Amino acid sequence: MKSTVPTLIATIVGVVLIVAFFVPATQSWSETAVDWFNILAGVAFILGGGNLIKVQLETISSRRPGWGYALVILVSFAIMLTVGLLKIGVPPAEQYPNHPWSGEYDAPASAFGWIFENVYNPLTSTMFALLAFYVASAAFRAFRAKNIEAMLLLGTAFIVLLGNTAIARLTDGIPDSLSFLRLDQVVANTMSYITTGAFRAITIGIAIGVAATALRVLLGIDRPYLGRT
């Protein structure tokens, strides 16, 4: 019964959303399902926050490796939760100028908005900048010409890289009748035809995989929402 009821609910809601997408007369069913989802998501956020606090406190109390990071997480969580719920520094909304808390909690002038723009966003940018080094390392390993596929990948990447540098200007003197041999044109054709064709094939494969997975979830074969399949 513990697994049957959640599976039945997931199946019914999934079927309702599919029917509402294809049948305009039943669109209100989808809106009702989305409202219920938002309610459950709010409860899930509370449970997730409680679990976050519990896990980090256990890490700090047991002095596990990296417990200092757990302390930073808790302090950051408490600060953002406090300034967000209390709307510290939030200016009043234009339509309610006499009500100091009527504005949005994430307004740029609020403490929450200031922390998000000046602390969170720079940290995110730093993390993505560090990924460039991992991408370069992975590209170095992938571009080793060990087989025909790797040689094709290496050659294509080399041409695309050259086409985006000043070296491409050296081929501007090629006559218009042979313009397809110009480096910038070679790159454009590669990105327009070869890359697009491969991307569409991958997208179609992903779509088929998503449809198959969704069907398994609707039929109750896979139950990821129960923590197991």
Give the burial class of 110: count Cβ atoms within 10 A of its Cβ; 0-12 exposed, 13-18 middle, 19 or more buried: buried
Q: Which domain holds residue 149?
A: 143-229
DSSP state of 90: P
Give the burial class of 104: count Cβ atoms within 10 A of its Cβ; 0-12 exposed, 13-18 middle, 19 or more buried: middle
What is d(CA 139, CA 129) in angstroms, rounded to the nearest whole number?
Answer: 16
DSSP state of 167: G
Question: Is the confidence at residue 229, as pLDDT, over 90?
Answer: no
Please report where in the chains the tokens 């908005």 appear, as a residue. Answer: 113
In a domain, 197, yes or no: yes
- pLDDT confidence bin for 90, thresholds 50/70/90: confident
Q: Which of 209, 165, 215 is nearest to 187 (CA)?
A: 165
Q: What is the pLDDT of residue 86?
A: 87
**Averaged pLDDT for residues 54-70:** 91
Structure tokens at 43: 């409860």
**Averaged pLDDT for residues 38-63:** 91
In a domain, 192, yes or no: yes
Measured on CA atoms in the order 146, 152, 155, 156, is the torsion positive or negative?
negative
Residue 78 CB neighbours (<10 A): 11
Contact 150, 161 (CB under 8 A): no
Number of domains in the chain: 1
In a domain, 185, yes or no: yes
Structure tokens at 158: 């080399």
Residue pLDDT, tens place only, 165-219: 777 777 777 777 777 778 888 888 888 888 888 889 999 999 999 999 888 888 8
Contact 19, 227 (CB under 8 A): no
In a domain, 118, yes or no: no
Contact 20, 30 (CB under 8 A): yes
In a domain, 164, yes or no: yes
Contact 103, 87 (CB under 8 A): yes
| Per-position DSSP letters for 61-85, written without gaps between them | HTT-TTHHHHHHHHHHHHHHHHHHH
In a domain, 186, yes or no: yes
Give me the torsion for CA of 88, 89, 93, 99, rounded to 10°: 70
In a domain, 89, yes or no: no
Instruction: Say how many CA atoms lie within 13 Å of 24 toward its Cβ.
Output: 0
Residue pLDDT, tens place only, 109-164: 889 889 989 998 999 999 888 887 887 777 777 666 677 877 877 788 788 877 77
In a domain, 182, yes or no: yes
The DSSP element (H or E) to which 8 belongs, if any, is helix 4-22
Question: Is the confidence at residue 71, as pLDDT, over 70?
Answer: yes
List phi, psi (to 5°) of 129: -65, -35
